[in-house]
Structures are given as structure tokens and as C-alpha cells.
Amino acid sequence: MKYNEINSLSFLLDKNHYLYKHTEDEQSIHLYVKSRPHSSICPICGEESKQLHATYDRVLQDTPIHMKQTFLHVKAYKFECPNSNCKCKVFMEDLPFAKPSQVRTDALTSLILGVSMYLSNEGASKVLSLLGVQVSNDTIKRIYDRIEFIDNPDVEAVGIDDVAIRKGHKYATAIYDLKDHHLIALLEGRDGETLKEWLRKHTKIRLVTRDRASAYASAINEILPECIQVADRFHLLQNLLDKLKEIFKAEIPSEIFIENGKVLDKAPKKIWCENDLDEEQFNQLHYDNTTPASLDGTEIFFDNKKRNLDSVQYKAHAESRKKNKN
């Protein structure tokens, strides 16, 4: 049988694999993948083999296309190990999109984990089925159970941060390897106690990036006093912004005076404008100063102590206004 590569879809796979057929029905899409002759590494002895032994078929569920369940039908290679001392005679090639013996692609597993992170397993299973992924809640649980954090007692540089396991309720301390940022430990609480215990077993650590919480700082100071502590980028930025705010508060006055586009050093002198008034124009303004009256003509008693023109206080103010004016 001849396999004709669909060149327009070559971007979907790596250079060692190609698509040669696709079919579609009401519920599902099927993509047919073939392995090109290439070399592969023996998983036991690590020697490279170009010796093809046979092909085998694998069917994997992939991320859905247009909400339809999507399958990869893969014709993959088995290789013969060239190392005569190796106990492995025949091995299967590594697929770039799935782990050995998996029935799902890595991309689909990531999608399942991503959706189920915010839902119950049962809820996630239902939502995923609407999206075109068939996965039972038991399988979701199994995928979760397989996640493990592999601690490394020889790690030399780590990042430490607090994370909420249940929004705003239960907190944990996440420790990740600074080399590639993968999680190596998830400790209970964020008060630094569990961190101290963990640090005692990881004495090779020379560098820690952490948040600004003092609990972590004091735990590190206590157990590994020689260790360099770095505020991570996010918290460094936060520190910088806090500092800038302080500076702005101290340096920038509450009022800024600008005249003709220039900032003045101090408040400008107030100018009395009355003399500039056009007398004629002013007299045209009609100002009714009569006592307010109701419709039947009775005067409305208007009591405003603040405007008592005969008060001592008001008279004093009027005097001082006159003085300022001259």
C-alpha cells in the first residue's frame, strides 16, 4: 500500500511523522499518521537503532477538532536494538505526541487536566464530552493520581511561593527547581514551618527566589544562613512600585501651579480683578436684592445667621476685605 503525504497538514506533526488520510463522520474525525523511516534510541541501553523490525498500529484520542471527538490512527515502527548485550531485542519508537502505552495524546491529557482543575471529576467529564472528549470521571481521577512531584535532594537553586489550594482557604508552599521551573515539592501551610523541615534535607541550596513574605525569609535565614535570597521578578516589581509611590508622595506637592505652560515654584500672587470690570457692563446686570415673598405677597423670613450683615464678625470681614483691596 502506498501512503501519500498530505503536505498541507505537515505543520501538525514533527519531521518523522506525516498525515496521509483523514475521514470524518457525524461524531468523530479520524487522522491517519505514518512514521517515516528514522532512527530511534533504545530505552534500555540508549543505543541508536535504524534497524526497523515491524510496524504496529496505535489509536489515540486527541484534542477535539470542531467539538468532534478526534482520533489519531498511527502506524508506528518497532526497532531492533543493535546492541547484542542489551536484554531488549525489539522496542517501540517514541511518539512525539504521546507517552508509550497511552491511549491519549499528551495535548489531550493537558486539556483534561486543565478543565478538571476547576471542576469536580464528574463535572469535568460532562463538560469535556460537550467539547468532544470522551473521558470518564474515573479516568480523570487516575490521571490526577499519576501526577507526582519528584523531589531532588541535590537541587541548588529553588523558587518558593505560596499558593492557594482552595481559593482563599487552604494555602501551601510550592517549591520549584529554578533551572526549568518544574515543581519539586508542595508543602502544607505557608508559615515557614514545613519549609524549615524541607530545607534541612536540601542543604546544597545556594540560591532561593521567594516572595516578600517574612515567614519564608526567616525560615531560610535560620536553616541556610549562607543562602542568597532573591526577590523574584514579580515581587521585585511590586517592591519598586511601592518605593516609587513613597517617593511620589514625598516629592510631589499636593498642588502644582502652571502658568503659560511652565510649572511655578510657588503659588502665584492672587490678583484682585474688580478694577478691571467694565462699569457699564456691570450696571446692566440686574440684581434683585428684595426680600423673597410668597405668591400672596407675604415676605418669606429668610434666616441665615452666616449672612447677618450686621454681625460683628461680618463687619470685621468686610473691613479686612477693603484693606486687602487697597
Q: Are 191 and 162 a contacting pair, CB within 8 Å? A: no
In the complex, the smallest distance separating the C-beta of residue 142 from Zn ion, rounded to whole angstroms, is 30
For residue 18, what are the contacts with CB-CB under 8 A and spacing of at least 6?
A: 3, 5, 6, 10, 33, 34, 36
Q: Please state, in angstroms and rounded to a whole number, the distance separating the CA atoms of residues 113 and 110.
A: 5
Q: Please state, in angstroms and rounded to a whole number, the distance separating the CA atoms of residues 229 and 218.
A: 11
Kind of pairing between the strands at 48-49 and 170-177: unpaired
3-state helix, strand, coil in the chain (%, to 5): 30, 30, 40
Q: DSSP for 150-213? A: ---TT--EEEEEEEEEETTTEEEEEEEETTT--EEEEEE-SSSHHHHHHHHT-TT--EEEE-S-
Interface residue with Zn ion, options 13, 29, 74, 81 (CB under 5 A)? 81
Specify the residue, 42 or 155, whose C-beta has the smaller distance to Zn ion.
Answer: 42
Q: Which of residues 194-223 bind Zn ion (CB under 5 A)?
A: none
The runs of H, that is alpha helices, within 186-268 are 193-200, 214-223, 233-251
Check residue 203 and report its DSSP letter. Answer: T
For residue 263, what are the contacts with CB-CB under 8 A and spacing of at least 6?
A: 256, 257
Specify the residue, 82 or 153, whose C-beta has the smaller distance to Zn ion.
Answer: 82
- For Zn ion, which stretch binds (CB under 5 A), given 63-71, 80-88, 290-298, 304-312? 80-88
Specify the residue, 81 or 185, whose C-beta has the smaller distance to Zn ion.
Answer: 81
Specify the residue, 85 or 324, whose C-beta has the smaller distance to Zn ion.
Answer: 85
- For Zn ion, which stretch binds (CB under 5 A), given 87-95, 200-208, 216-224, 271-279? 87-95
CA 139 to chain centre: 28
Specify the residue, 79 or 176, whose C-beta has the smaller distance to Zn ion.
Answer: 79
Q: Which of residues 39-58 bind Zn ion (CB under 5 A)?
A: 42, 44-45
In the complex, the smallest distance separating the C-beta of residue 45 from Zn ion, rounded to whole angstroms, is 3
Specify the residue, 10 or 51, whose C-beta has the smaller distance to Zn ion.
Answer: 51
| Of residues 24, 8, 14, the one with CA closest to residue 106 | 14
In the complex, the smallest distance separating the C-beta of residue 94 from Zn ion, rounded to whole angstroms, is 14
- For Zn ion, which stretch binds (CB under 5 A), given 37-45, 93-101, 115-123, 210-218? 37-45
In the complex, the smallest distance separating the C-beta of residue 88 from Zn ion, rounded to whole angstroms, is 4
CB neighbour class for 32 (10 Å; exposed up to 12, middle 13-18, buried from 19): middle
In the complex, the smallest distance separating the C-beta of residue 81 from Zn ion, rounded to whole angstroms, is 3
80 binding Zn ion? (CB under 5 A): no
Size of interface with Zn ion, in residues (CB under 5 A) = 7
Specify the residue, 42 or 135, whose C-beta has the smaller distance to Zn ion.
Answer: 42
Q: Is the dihedral of CA 38, 41, 47, 51 positive or negative?
A: negative
Q: DSSP for 116-141? A: HTTS-HHHHHHHHHHHT----HHHHH
- For Zn ion, which stretch binds (CB under 5 A), given 18-26, 38-46, 125-133, 299-307? 38-46
- For Zn ion, which stretch binds (CB under 5 A), given 74-82, 112-120, 133-141, 301-309? 74-82
Interface residue with Zn ion, options 28, 63, 83, 139 (CB under 5 A)? 83
183 binding Zn ion? (CB under 5 A): no
Specify the residue, 53 or 235, whose C-beta has the smaller distance to Zn ion.
Answer: 53
**Contact set with Zn ion (CB under 5 A):** 42, 44-45, 81, 83, 86, 88
